[in-house]
Amino acid sequence: MSGGSPLLLVAACALVDPDGRVLLAQRPPGKSMAGLWEFPGGKVEAGERPEEALIRELAEELGIDVNEACLAPLTFASHDYGNFHLLMPLFVCRRWRGEVSAREGQELAWVRPLRMGTYPMPPADVPLVAALRDLL
């Protein structure tokens, strides 16, 4: 094994509403890459599967309850940020319980797939947009 950057596993979710729009969340001030738009999700903790991390993160960040059976894996991002390497599976979810609300002060936007490219995103998220456009 090479002496590269540590690997960070983060799970992300493209929530898709009945109108085919995708939820993007803006990184709040004070966080790295503040102001950029991303798919909701977060770090996979030790002993946690990506699906479990997403269910936990979506409840914490957005106040919604997602059933694991409603998470469909779509694609993943693998991106070197220099001080760490990000591996991020992207799941699609079309069904959840509760109303989506910004629980952590972040801005939220429901965006049509063809408009996602107009939102500035972290480098790892950018290639995921094309896979979503193709799906939706």
- The total number of structural domains in the chain stands at 1
Expressed as residue numbers, the domain containing 21 is 7-135
The CATH number of residue 39's host domain is: 3.90.79.10
DSSP states of 82-101 as a string?
Answer: SS-EEEEEEEEE---BS---
In a domain, 50, yes or no: yes
Share of the chain above pLDDT 90, in %: 90
In a domain, 2, yes or no: no
Per-residue pLDDT band for 49 (boundaries 50, 70, 90) equals very high
Please report the sign of the dihedral spanned by the C-alpha atoms of residue 9, residue 54, residue 24, residue 31.
negative
- pLDDT for the residue 2: 53
In a domain, 124, yes or no: yes
- Answer whether residue 57 shows pLDDT above 70: yes
* Contact yes or no for 71/90 (Cβ under 8 A): no
Q: Write the pLDDT tens digit of every residue in 81-129.
A: 999 999 999 999 999 999 999 998 899 999 999 999 999 999 999 999 9
In a domain, 54, yes or no: yes
- pLDDT for the residue 1: 43
In a domain, 105, yes or no: yes
DSSP states of the chain as a string?
Answer: ----PPEEEEEEEEEB-TTS-EEEEEPPTTSTTTT-EE-SEEEPPTT--HHHHHHHHHHHHH--B--GGGEEEEEEEEEE-SS-EEEEEEEEE---BS----TTS--EEEE-GGGGGGS---TTTHHHHHHHHHH-
The chain-wide mean pLDDT, for the chain, equals: 94
In a domain, 1, yes or no: no
In a domain, 65, yes or no: yes
> What is the C-alpha to C-alpha distance for residues 58 and 108, in angstroms, rounded to an integer?
13
